[in-house]
Structure formats: C-alpha cells, structure tokens
Structure 1
Amino acid sequence: MKILKNPFIVSGYVSADYFCDREVETEELTQALVNGRNTVIVSPRRMGKTGLIEHCFHQERIAREYYTFFVDIYATGSLKELVFMLGKHIFDTLKPKGRKFAEGFFAAIASLRPAFKLDAVTGEPVFDIGIGEIRRPEVSLEELFAYLEAADKPCLVAIDEFQQIARYPEKNVEAVLRTHIQKCTNTTFVFAGSQRHMMQNIFFSASRPFYQSASFMNLGPIAEEAYRRFVQRHFRQAGKEISGECIERIYTLFEGHTWYMQSMLNRLYEQTAKGEGATLEEADIVLHQTVNAQQAMYQNMVAMLSERQKELLFAIGKEGRAREITSVDFVTRHGLYSSSSVQSAARQLLEKEFITKEENVYQVYDRFFGLWLAETYGTGYRL
C-alpha cells in the first residue's frame, strides 16, 4: 500500500486508507454498476464525486472484472471536444496493456486513425490529433461506443461535469448520446454533475432525451463524526494530535465541503510537529494563510465583473448564505441599485459560476474566495 507523507489529499485518489467514510454511497453506487444501472450523481463541485467514483472503481470486484474510464468534460465546448476527450482517455487507459491494444483501438476507430502516431523518442504509440481534425464527430462517437461494446470485459464509463453537453452549440447532442447509450449492453455509465438545475433539466424533463434513463444519487457532505474520526486517526498515526473542537470549527465553517476541509487540514497537518497538537489558534492562522495566498487571483476575478455584479457578489460574500436577494430588505441593507438589477446580476454570476443557488440560498461558489470577500469587503472571518 502506498504511504503518503501527508494523508489529507486534495486531488486524485490514492487508496481506501485515505478515503473518508461514504460507505453507504459506495455500496449504492457499486451495486448499481455491477447490476448495469446507469447512475446520475449530483453535488457541488469539490464535494467528493470524483473520489467516490474512483473509490468504487478500485473495489476489488470492479477492478478485477471491469474496464473503467473516468472522463472529465468540464473544459469541453463542443461535440468534437467530447469525442477527443473520450477517445484520448480510452486510449490512455488501455495503452499500458501494450502496443497490441493501442493498434486495435485505432483499427476499430477508423475516423480517429490519423491520431495514431509513434513517439519519436520512445517509439510508443501516442494519441495525437487536433480537435479540428475530427471531421465527423458523430461517426467517431459511434465507433467509440462500438469499441466499448466489443471489449472482452464489461466497461464502466464515468463522465464528470456532464451538464456541459447542454452548452454545446450542436442541437442534437443529447439525442445522439442517448441513442448510443441506450443500445449499450456491455457498458454502464455514471453521469456526474455539479450544476443541479442543469442536471435535473437533462434527466427529469419529459421532453429531453435522457428523461428517466438513470437512477439518481445526491451526494451531500460526509457526516461530521465520521470525518472527525478520520482526521484524528491520521494525526495520531503520525504521533500528532488535534482537538475535536478544532475539527468541528473547520467542518462548520465549510459546511462539510470536502475539498476545502482537506485543503485546510493538509496545511495544518504539515505545520504540526510530531509529538505536538494542532490548536484552534494555529488552525485560524493556517486558514488566513490559505485564503490570502490566492489574493492576486481573487482581485483579478473581481476585476472581471461589472459594477452591479460586484455589488451583489460583495453582499452575498458578507452574508455568507444569502436569501431573498431581490427583497426590498436585502436591496436596502446592502445599498443595491434595484431588485431588477439584482436579478440580472445574479443570473450572470450564476452563469459565470461565481455564486451558487441551492434551495433559494445563494453562496459564493469558491468557499475560500467567499472568505476573502468577507475579509476585504465585510467584517472578516475566523474559525
């Protein structure tokens, strides 16, 4: 088993030892996968969707009996880019199995054959094609699905930030994908997304192709007690201590949002010497260091916004969790221009992913950015 210098990982998946809880969700998703049920997972970004999927993919039965593929399409903006990401990931996953697999891949995916090249130094096959060279993405997509269906083991494909397909300029992307996916008998899919409203529109609207095509899983925060045990176990294994109160304050501040807690504890663990204990005061210092380290980026982000957008963002940052933002009370309290201008600014901030809206509660999307706003334009913050 791989042993890490710092057990509080902030990217990727290492092993079950560094994965906290999610026992119920792991069992639910694993059972769905092995029984061929396509699944939708929705949660805010950085809540742990990727970790959960990778954890399931590393379960002994799945790792032994299935080919697994995890494709993040957040940065894609067209069907061509989706085809590129899917093709490249399938190729990169199978490449370690040898040149025969790589050659077989390009033999099956005829439309992507120009991407088959040999590295000039190592002589190994590489996937090298410009997105503009993908002339017929619908054909390439059909070939990719056919390749998965012909595999000698069942395939599991997780597509992260799946809501991006609704932003593609092509009009029939959902219908094309749904047509191929519903024909799959050797491939099961996980559709993960962070934009709840968009994901619900894709899968719950009767007029959309993916309507009722997958089971639904809502991924919330890890239970506080489970996370406290996880944190204290790793501190104690290294001969360090951390109080339950300190963990509770961190958990409460970030409302159980996994990545932000892990980022904090990664730094706090690093700065706590063996034989010593992490105090609340030290944790507060680490928190401010973490937030302030991103100040230049946050200043640039604010500079991108219009005056009305800034005013609303600052107001939401001050409140932390803002409700009824178009009400006379909220507009007056924060000196905003008008309810209609707030409504327009909120729509634009949501589109740009500066803020989120969950059950009529508005928050700054990046929790550290929200704290920086509270410090810079509000009354500050502390653990």
Structure 2
Amino acid sequence: MNNPFIITGSIPEEYFCDRREETKKVIRTLSNGGNLCLISPRRMGKSKLIRFCYDKPECADNYYTFYIDILHTSSLREFTYAFGQKVFEALHAKSRKMLTAFVQGLKSINAKFGFDPISNAPTFSLELGDIIRPEFTLTEIFDCLEKADKPCIVAFDEFQQITKYPEKNIEALLRSHIQHLSNVHFIFAGSEHHLVTEMFLSSARPFYNSTSILELHPIVTEEYIPFVCHWFDVYERNIDAKDVLEIYRLFEGNTYYMQKTFHEAFINTPVGGACTLDTLRRTIDGILEEASDGYRQILSRIPERQKELLYAVATEVKAEKIMSAGFIRKYSLVSSSAVQAAARKLIELDLLTEEDNVYFIPDVLFRMYLQRLKNTNLIFII
C-alpha cells in the first residue's frame, strides 16, 4: 500500500476509519432478514460503508451482493437497465450456475445472449432500447434473485432518485415486489434527507415502516484525528493533530473531502518530512482547482437569480429567513417571490438543501468554491 488514505476502490479493514457500530448494525439487520434505509449527506461514506460490509466474511461468504447506484437514472426503464447490468456483472464473477439461470430467466427483453467460445461462459449484451416493458423485466430480475441458491443483498444507492421519474407509482411498484421476497434483502441508501425520510417515515408512502433506519454522521474527531496521525507516523511522516482538526472543521467532518485532502497531502509530504499547514493549504487549492471546471459548468447552466442566491447562502454558510426583507436587502436580491422560486429550483437540482428552515449548500467543496469566487484572497485554513 503506497497511500493509506484510500479514495477509490475497496478499503482494507486496517485502513477503514471507525464505523464499527454502523457496520455491526448493517450486518445485523440484513443477516436477520431485515431491510435497511441508510441516510447520509453525499460523500459522507455510505457507499464505502456498504462495500466494506459486503467484503466482511458475514456477507461475502453467505450472500450474493449487488450494489446499484441509480443517481444517473431518470426513468423506470433506466433503473431496470442499471439493475440488470449490475446483477449480470456480479453473477458473472461469482456463480456460473446463477449466471445461466439469470440469463435464461430474462424472457421479456431483446438482449443478445451467447457463449464465450473460450470459457463457454454465458455472454450478455443489453442495451437500454432492448427493454420494452421494464415492469416485466423487473419482475424477472426479482424472481431470479428470489430463486437463487444463496440469499441476496441488493443496495440501491441514491434511492430517492425514483421519486423524480416521470412514471407514476414507482414506489408502490417496487414495494409490491419487495414485500413478497424472502431470499432478497435490501439497503436503500439516499443523500437527500428530506426526500428519503419522507419516503420511509411518512405513513402515506408505500415504504413506510418497511426498514430499519440508520443515519450516517461524521466520524467523531476522537477517532478520525488519531487515525490520520497514526498512518502518517507509520509511513515515517509527521502531521500535527491540531492541523488535522483544522481540516476536519473546514470540511465539517465530510469523509470524502477529508480523505481526499490527506491522500494528496500524504503524496506531497516526503518520507521523514512534516505535513504543515502550508502543505494543507496548497493541497486544498489543488483540490479546488481540480473541481473548478465541473463547478463552472454547473454555474453556466443556472440563471442569474439562482446564482445570486447560491452566493448569498454560501456566504452565510447556514442561512435562515432567506425570504425576509433583511436577507434580501443584505444580498441585493430581487424579491421574496424570486428568492422562493430560485430556492425551489436549486433544491430540485440538489444544489441547495433546507432543513428546519435553514438553507445550506450540501456540497462543502462547492460552497468553498463559491466563497472563493466572491473573495479571491480567501484562505481557508488559518
């Protein structure tokens, strides 16, 4: 291992910081036949936690495990396509018998089936256009997993995305399948707190009371700071605990951005050297520069009034009473109705979040980028 601060792929247990109790709850819930709703802000480590649990012997030795990120999907057909592809890929790596059963069970699609002439393993070429009746194909996928020779765990990441599909009653359709499955257990992970909690905690919704709930919070400083200092020390580098705390506070405990910062800072610190505040400043400048093209693209696609509100909220960090005369006057906004319309659209785009009448930008790095645009001399680490 060249860098102990891993940001891509699976993380070996010794490099995985804390999450002991969360790991126990995930495995305990699933191994006892339950389903789990996992809620956390984006980039807080929920996908890494799921994959970490999948790699534990309790899951790896006893279950077929599937992970499907549906954030990029915009319809039931795309959902079904992503689901089918991931099931095929996972079974291809794990079970020839189950792979064959899966391929033979998909009768409703025009996919291209065949056999590899060298390995004689089934091959499968599925295009989005091959799925004509996604509700039928979905039934066939669930039926295959229900008949599998081992129990299955299916994780749908960014599950709130199904509420944005044009088709009606997607929640009810999925719930009607899931409630009858005994060989398949589910993790429904989501990052848009208000949407996910409404889906699983409102008595008017199909998934009400159907899962255990686990909210993922930042790893506490008492765990994270010694973790960082330990691995710098193991690799003969030095970092001060109070500087690690500065990064923790800057990113508000956001797992990915802290890990990314220390991953890059580790590279920038030679063996026998010290990672200083200056090293960390340069590292964060580099991360912001790396992300800036994507953020510029986002800003180029939204109207001026939405941009003005984003800048105002970024400046406040946590903004209250954004439709009040005082807030509008302070940031030279147009009117309360214009702010309300802009906020509604930004929330739909997941560029703004509202909790208990407090508005904030959920992507901490994007907020920092906006703050720096308004103040080019801004230095984030004091």
Indicate the TM-score class for this superposition, using the shorter chain for normalisation. Answer: over 0.9
Secondary structure of 1:37's counterpart equals coil
CA distance in 1, matches of 2:44, 2:199: 21
Residue deviations 1:56-101, cap 9 Å, x none? 1122122111111111111111111111111111110010236544
Query: 2:143 is matched with which residue: 139, 142, 146?
Result: 146
**1:149-177 Cα shifts (integer Å, max 9, x gaps):** 11111111111010111111111211111
1:236 and 2:233 are equivalent in the alignment: yes
Moved more, 84-93 or 116-125: 116-125
Per-residue deviation, 1:102: 2.6
Residue correspondence of structure 1 range 104-115 to structure 2 within 5 A:
104-112=101-109, 114-115=111-112
CA contact (8 A) 1:371 1:381 kept: no
1:120 Cα deviation from its structure 2 partner? 8.5
SS at match of 1:102: helix
User: What residue number does 1:189 align with?
Assistant: 186
Q: 1:322 corresponds to which residue?
A: 319
What is the match of residue 366 of structure 2? 369
Q: Secondary structure at the match of 1:171?
A: coil
Q: Are the aligned partners of 2:101 and 2:144 in contact in 1 as well (CA < 8 Å)?
A: no
CA drift at 1:118: 4.6
AA partner of residue 380 (structure 1) = L
Residue 121 of structure 1 and its aligned partner are, at CA, apart by: 9.0
- Deviation, 1:219, is 0.8
Supply the AA of the counterpart residue of 2:250.
L
Contact 2:319 2:358 in 1 (8 A): yes
Residue type of the alignment partner of 2:378: G
The root-mean-square deviation of aligned C-alpha atoms, in Å, is 1.8
Match runs of 1:1-383 below 5 Å = 4-97=1-94, 99-112=96-109, 114-118=111-115, 125-378=122-375, 380-383=378-381
Q: Distance in 2 between matches of 1:81 and 1:333?
A: 44
Shift of 1:367: 1.9
SS in 2 for 1:158: strand
Q: Distance in 1 between matches of 2:7 and 2:252?
A: 17
Contact 1:284 1:382 in 2 (8 A): yes
Structure 1 residues 115 and 233 mapped into 2: Cα distance closer, same or farther (>3 Å)?
farther
The answer to whether the Cα contact below 8 Å between 1:71 and 1:160 also exists between their aligned partners in 2 is: yes
Q: Which moved more, 1:270-279 or 1:358-367?
A: 358-367
Cα distance in 1 between the residues matched to 2:90 and 2:339 = 47
Does the Cα contact within 8 Å between 2:98 and 2:148 map onto a contact in 1?
Answer: no
Identify if the C-alpha distance between structure 1 residues 18 and 105 changes in structure 2 by more than 3 Å, giving closer, same or farther.
same
CA contact (8 A) 2:311 2:370 kept: yes
User: What TM-score do the two structures reach when normalised by structure 1?
Assistant: 0.94
Q: CA deviation at 1:298?
A: 2.3
Distance 1:160 1:115 in 2: 28
Q: Could you tell me whether the CA contact under 8 Å between 1:107 and 1:113 is conserved in 2?
A: no
Report the AA paired with residue 253 of structure 1.
L
Letter in 2 for 1:334: Y
Q: CA deviation at 1:14?
A: 2.4
Note the alpha carbon deviations across 1:270-304, whole angstroms, 9 max, x for none: 00001111011211121112112333332232221
| TM-fit CA distance, 1:361 | 2.8
User: Following the alignment from structure 1 to structure 2, what is the Cα–Cα distance between the partners of residues 296 and 255?
Assistant: 23
Moved more, 100-109 or 122-131: 122-131
Question: Which shifted more, 318-327 or 147-156?
Answer: 318-327
Aligned residues: 380
Distance 1:244 1:202, change over 3 A: same
Distance 2:191 2:175 in 1: 20
- Alignment partners' CA distance in 2, 1:54 and 1:89: 14
Query: What percent identity do the matched residue pairs reach?
Result: 41
Separation (CA, whole Å) in 1 of partners of 2:203 and 2:88? 35
Distance in 1, Cα, partners of 2:33 & 2:315: 46
Is the 8 Å Cα contact of residues 374 and 381 (structure 1) preserved in structure 2? no
